[in-house]
Structure 1
Amino acid sequence: MTIDRQTLRWNGWGPAKQDNPLPDGAPQWGWIRETLGLSVLPSTPAKRLSDITLTPCHLSADDIESFEKIVGNNQVRTDDYERAFHARGKSYHDLLYVRAGDLAVAPDGVIYPRSSAEVQQLITLCADRNIAIVPFGGGSSVVGGVNAHARNAEDKLVTIDTTLMDKILEIDRVSMTARIEAGIYGPALEEKLQAQGLTLGHYPQSFQFSTLGGWVAARGAGQQSNRYGKAEKWLVSTRLATPAGTWSTEETPASAAGPNLNQIVAGSEGTLGIICDATVKIHAIPAAKDYRGYLFKNFEAGVDVAREINHAGIPVAMVRLSDAPETYFFQAFSATGAGGLKSKLQNLFLKWKGLADNPCLMLIGIEGEKETVSWARERTEAICKKGGALAIGSGAGDKWYHGRFNSPYARDPMMDRGVGIDTLETSTHWSNIMNLHQKVTSAIEAAIEDTKAEPAAKGIVMGHVGHSYPDGASLYFTFVFPRDLKDEVGQWQKIKRAASDAILANGGTISHHHGVGTDHTPWMEEEKGSMGLSLLRTLKEKLDPKGIMNPGKLLP
Structure 2
Amino acid sequence: MTIDRTTLRWNGWGPVKQENPLPSDSPKWDWIQESLGLSRLPSTPAVPLPSIRLPTCRISESVLEKLRGIVGANQLRTDDYERAFHARGKSYHDLLYVRAGKLDMAPDAVAYPRSADEALAVVKLCAEEDIALVPFGGGSSVVGGVNAMARSLGGAVLTLDTTLMTRIIQIDKMSMTARIEAGIYGPQLEEQLQAHGVTLGHYPQSFPLSTLGGWIAARGAGQQSNRYGKAEKWLVSAKLATPRGFWTTEATPASAAGPNLNQLVAGSEGILGVIVEATVKIHELPERKDYRGYLFKNFAAGVDAARRINHAEIPVAMVRLSDAPETYFFQTFSSSSSGGLKSKLQAAYLKMKGFNETPCLMLIGHEGPKETVIWAQEQTEAICKRQGALALGTGPGKRWYHGRFDSPAIRDPMMDRGLGVDTLETSTRWSNIANLHEKVSAAIAGAMAAHMPEQHARGIVMGHVSHSYPDGASLYFTFIFPRQLDREVEQWQAIKRAASDAIIMNGGTISHHHGVGLDHAPWLAEEKGEIGFALLKAAKREMDPKGVMNPGKLLG
Mapping 1:426-465, distance limit 5 Å: 426-465=426-465
Residue 222 of structure 2 corresponds to residue 222 of structure 1: yes
Q: Does the 8 Å CA contact 1:324/1:360 hold for their aligned counterparts?
A: yes
In structure 1, what is the Cα distance between the partners aligned to 2:174 and 2:338? 52
State the partner residue of 1:537.
537
Secondary structure of 1:474 counterpart? strand
Q: Note the C-alpha offset of 1:261.
A: 0.2
State the partner residue of 1:389.
389
In structure 2, what is the Cα distance between the partners aligned to 1:63 and 1:83? 17
State the partner residue of 2:131.
131
Residue 114 of structure 2 corresponds to residue 114 of structure 1: yes
Secondary structure of 2:467 counterpart? strand
Q: Note the C-alpha offset of 1:196.
A: 1.0
Q: Note the C-alpha offset of 1:458.
A: 0.3
State the partner residue of 1:276.
276
State the partner residue of 1:525.
525
State the partner residue of 1:188.
188
State the partner residue of 2:158.
158
State the partner residue of 2:31.
31
In structure 2, what is the Cα distance between the partners aligned to 1:383 and 1:533? 42
State the partner residue of 2:263.
263
Q: Note the C-alpha offset of 1:338.
A: 4.6
Runs of 4 or more, structure 1, over 4 Å off, are none
Could you report, residue by residue, the CA deviation over 1:352-382 in whole angstroms, capped at 9, with x for unpaired residues? 1100111000000000000000000100000
Q: Note the C-alpha offset of 1:153.
A: 2.2
Could you report, residue by residue, the CA deviation over 1:70-125 in whole angstroms, capped at 9, with x for unpaired residues? 11110100000000000000000000000000000000000000000001111111
Could you report, residue by residue, the CA deviation over 1:411-451 in whole angstroms, capped at 9, with x for unpaired residues? 00000000100000000000000000000000000000000
Q: Note the C-alpha offset of 1:59.
A: 1.1
Secondary structure of 1:469 counterpart? coil
* Amino acid of the structure 1 residue aligned with 2:37: G
In structure 1, what is the Cα distance between the partners aligned to 2:338 and 2:465? 28
Q: Note the C-alpha offset of 1:151.
A: 1.7
* Amino acid of the structure 2 residue aligned with 1:359: P
In structure 2, what is the Cα distance between the partners aligned to 1:270 and 1:438? 34
Which piece of structure 1 moves more, 525-534 or 8-17?
525-534
Q: TM-score, normalised by structure 2?
A: 1.00
Which piece of structure 1 moves more, 532-541 or 90-99?
532-541
Mapping 1:447-486, distance limit 5 Å: 447-486=447-486
Q: Does the 8 Å CA contact 1:145/1:553 hold for their aligned counterparts?
A: yes
Q: Note the C-alpha offset of 1:228.
A: 0.0
Could you report, residue by residue, the CA deviation over 1:333-358 in whole angstroms, capped at 9, with x for unpaired residues? 01152521111110011001100111
In structure 1, what is the Cα distance between the partners aligned to 2:29 and 2:453? 19
Q: Note the C-alpha offset of 1:525.
A: 1.0
Identity percentage over the alignment? 71
State the partner residue of 1:202.
202
Could you report, residue by residue, the CA deviation over 1:212-241 in whole angstroms, capped at 9, with x for unpaired residues? 000000000000000000000000000000
State the partner residue of 1:344.
344
Residue 91 of structure 2 corresponds to residue 91 of structure 1: yes
Could you report, residue by residue, the CA deviation over 1:487-521 in whole angstroms, capped at 9, with x for unpaired residues? 00000000000000000000000000000000001
Q: Does the 8 Å CA contact 1:8/1:15 hold for their aligned counterparts?
A: yes
Q: Does the 8 Å CA contact 2:332/2:338 hold for their aligned counterparts?
A: no
In structure 2, what is the Cα distance between the partners aligned to 1:336 and 1:200? 35
In structure 2, what is the Cα distance between the partners aligned to 1:103 and 1:325? 36
Could you report, residue by residue, the CA deviation over 1:172-203 in whole angstroms, capped at 9, with x for unpaired residues? 01000000000000000000001111100000
In structure 1, what is the Cα distance between the partners aligned to 2:483 and 2:472? 34
In structure 2, what is the Cα distance between the partners aligned to 1:352 and 1:154? 66
State the partner residue of 2:309.
309
Could you report, residue by residue, the CA deviation over 1:255-293 in whole angstroms, capped at 9, with x for unpaired residues? 000000000000000000000000000011100000000
In structure 1, what is the Cα distance between the partners aligned to 2:459 and 2:407? 18
Q: Does the 8 Å CA contact 1:77/1:109 hold for their aligned counterparts?
A: yes
Q: Note the C-alpha offset of 1:6.
A: 1.0
Q: Does the 8 Å CA contact 2:134/2:160 hold for their aligned counterparts?
A: yes
In structure 1, what is the Cα distance between the partners aligned to 2:28 and 2:193? 39
State the partner residue of 1:420.
420
Secondary structure of 1:538 counterpart? helix
RMSD over aligned Cα, in angstroms? 0.6
State the partner residue of 1:364.
364
State the partner residue of 1:12.
12
Secondary structure of 1:43 counterpart? coil
In structure 1, what is the Cα distance between the partners aligned to 2:242 and 2:155? 20
* Amino acid of the structure 1 residue aligned with 2:261: L
Secondary structure of 2:468 counterpart? strand
Residue 232 of structure 2 corresponds to residue 232 of structure 1: yes
State the partner residue of 1:145.
145
Secondary structure of 1:290 counterpart? strand
In structure 2, what is the Cα distance between the partners aligned to 1:77 and 1:351? 60
Q: Does the 8 Å CA contact 1:290/1:373 hold for their aligned counterparts?
A: yes
State the partner residue of 1:60.
60
State the partner residue of 2:487.
487
* Amino acid of the structure 1 residue aligned with 2:453: A
Secondary structure of 1:431 counterpart? helix
Mapping 1:492-531, distance limit 5 Å: 492-531=492-531
In structure 1, what is the Cα distance between the partners aligned to 2:19 and 2:540? 44
Q: Does the 8 Å CA contact 1:2/1:188 hold for their aligned counterparts?
A: no
State the partner residue of 2:334.
334
Q: Note the C-alpha offset of 1:2.
A: 3.5
Secondary structure of 1:467 counterpart? coil
In structure 2, what is the Cα distance between the partners aligned to 1:492 and 1:416? 17
In structure 2, what is the Cα distance between the partners aligned to 1:132 and 1:459? 39
State the partner residue of 1:254.
254
Could you report, residue by residue, the CA deviation over 1:147-184 in whole angstroms, capped at 9, with x for unpaired residues? 00112223111000000000100010100000000000
* Amino acid of the structure 1 residue aligned with 2:134: V
Secondary structure of 2:133 counterpart? strand
In structure 2, what is the Cα distance between the partners aligned to 1:115 and 1:338? 54
In structure 2, what is the Cα distance between the partners aligned to 1:42 and 1:85? 26
Q: Does the 8 Å CA contact 1:31/1:336 hold for their aligned counterparts?
A: no
In structure 2, what is the Cα distance between the partners aligned to 1:55 and 1:3? 26
* Amino acid of the structure 1 residue aligned with 2:340: G
In structure 2, what is the Cα distance between the partners aligned to 1:338 and 1:282? 45
Q: Does the 8 Å CA contact 2:132/2:149 hold for their aligned counterparts?
A: no
Q: Does the 8 Å CA contact 1:90/1:139 hold for their aligned counterparts?
A: yes
State the partner residue of 2:45.
45
* Amino acid of the structure 2 residue aligned with 1:470: P
Secondary structure of 1:468 counterpart? coil
In structure 2, what is the Cα distance between the partners aligned to 1:445 and 1:455? 15
Residue 79 of structure 2 corresponds to residue 71 of structure 1: no
Secondary structure of 1:412 counterpart? helix
Which piece of structure 1 moves more, 380-389 or 527-536?
527-536
Q: Note the C-alpha offset of 1:7.
A: 0.5
In structure 2, what is the Cα distance between the partners aligned to 1:199 and 1:171? 11
In structure 2, what is the Cα distance between the partners aligned to 1:78 and 1:456? 47
Q: Note the C-alpha offset of 1:477.
A: 0.1
* Amino acid of the structure 1 residue aligned with 2:238: T
Q: What is the aligned residue count? A: 556
